Amino acid sequence: MSTPHPILPSRPLLPHIATSCPNPRCAAALEFPVPSPLPRAGTLLSVRCFQCESVLQHAYYPGQVPSGSTTVGASTSRDGRSSSPRTEATQQGSSSNGGQQAQKKGRKIGTQERPLDTEYYDILGVPVTATTDDIKKAYRRLAIKHHPDKNPSDPHAEERFKAIAIAYQTLSDPALRKKYNEFGPKESAPEGGYVDPEEVFGAIFGGERFVPIIGHISLARDMKTALQEAEEAEEEGQGEAEGKRVRDAKGREVLSPEERARKEERERVKAEKEKQRAAEKAAARAERVSKLVENMERKLSIFTESAAGPDDPDVSRSWRTICQLEAE
């Protein structure tokens, strides 16, 4: 079909973040393109107002970017087609220490030293090794700076303030922080939230009610540790594969002095962890057996100290009733 108009060029959709000028004399509504590569959550971006030319500071968070669009860094050819279309979701995955990509593997458990997700740490601007006091100080500083009352012209102030509060509530609680490091935020967990393997096994074996009888079950804890170690070994194996190991005629790896030293250090650390874990398991077992013996002796003493003989019907009936009540 012919048309009198020439062929018009096109360009990829570029995501923009909406905000407003904080200058009270201007207060213009504006938007600016998302930089590439994507900055970390909480990064302050300097933006020049198109109307009054003043420079404003805008705190960036991933939720402000429309998904499914290419960023400013995508190059455009002469006919308007993007030569390297990288979506926001893909870039965000690569800019958060591989956290989002790791979650796609399925069954993945982080550790306290290497959390599965670091978004909450990024929001507060603290390292994963931060203490509770460091987290508290960071929260106080950011909460005051980004409070909605202090940023009435910023439409994203309330969203930032809420994200800061959620990050603080999670990381300031040792139990919640441990779960976050291992399983990530609730939104990235299965429907209904994440479930700790130790909690699953506790529910199967009756939970706290069975502790006086069988003690704490270590099977779930051992399973979780095995998963963590297997995934760390898999990551190390992938790193070695990417490095294209050189092998000799007998198929043995040819290692440089630095690589050999790193390998020996990994083996030494692994041996120390196994030795420490074996000692902890032995101590836990001894404590569990001692406690169970104490509980059993106390339970049997009710019968032995009250019975007139081995066939005392009244005491036997009373003791069976006590056991039934405890079981219920």
pLDDT in tens, 23-71: 778 888 888 888 888 887 767 788 888 988 888 877 777 667 665 544 4
> Mean pLDDT: which of 121-130, 250-259, 318-327 is highest?
121-130
pLDDT in tens, 150-194: 777 887 877 888 888 888 888 888 888 888 888 887 644 334 444
Residues 78 and 183: their CA atoms lie apart, in Å, by 46
Q: Mean pLDDT score of the chain, rounded to an integer? A: 72
**Which structural domains are found in the chain, ordered by start?**
16-64 (no CATH), 118-205 (1.10.287.110)
| pLDDT given at position 161 | 81
Question: How confident is residue 218, by pLDDT bands cut at 50, 70 and 90?
Answer: low
Mean pLDDT of the 106-135 span: 84
Query: What's the full length of the chain, in residues?
Result: 328
Percent of the chain with pLDDT over 90: 1
pLDDT > 60? residue 86: no
| pLDDT given at position 188 | 41
Task: Label each residue of the chain as H, E or C.
Answer: CCCCCCCCCCCCCCCEEEEECCCCCCCCEEEEECCCCCCCCCCEEEEECCCCCCEEEEECCHHHCCCCCECCCCCECCCCCECCCCEHHHHHHHHCCCHHHHHCCCCCCCCCCCCCCCHHHHHHCCCCCCCHHHHHHHHHHHHHHCCHHHCCCCCCHHHHHHHHHHHHHHHCCHHHHHHHHHHCCHHHCCCCCCCCHHHHHHHHCCHHHHHHHHCCCCHHHHHHHHHHHHHHHHHHHHHHHHCCCCECCCCCECCCHHHHHHHHHHHHHHHHHHHHHHHHHHHHHHHHHHHHHHHHHHHHHHHHCCCCCCCCHHHHHHHHHHHHHHHC
| pLDDT given at position 190 | 38
Mean pLDDT of the 227-245 span: 61
Question: How confident is residue 234, by pLDDT bands cut at 50, 70 and 90?
Answer: low
Question: How confident is residue 131, by pLDDT bands cut at 50, 70 and 90?
Answer: very high
| pLDDT given at position 282 | 86
Give the least confident one: 1-5, 124-128, 201-205: 201-205
Mean pLDDT of the 3-21 span: 80
Question: How confident is residue 83, by pLDDT bands cut at 50, 70 and 90?
Answer: very low
| pLDDT given at position 254 | 74
Dihedrals φ, ψ of 57, to 5°?
A: -105, 125
| pLDDT given at position 80 | 39
| pLDDT given at position 219 | 55
| pLDDT given at position 209 | 62
pLDDT in tens, 292-316: 888 888 777 777 777 777 777 777 7
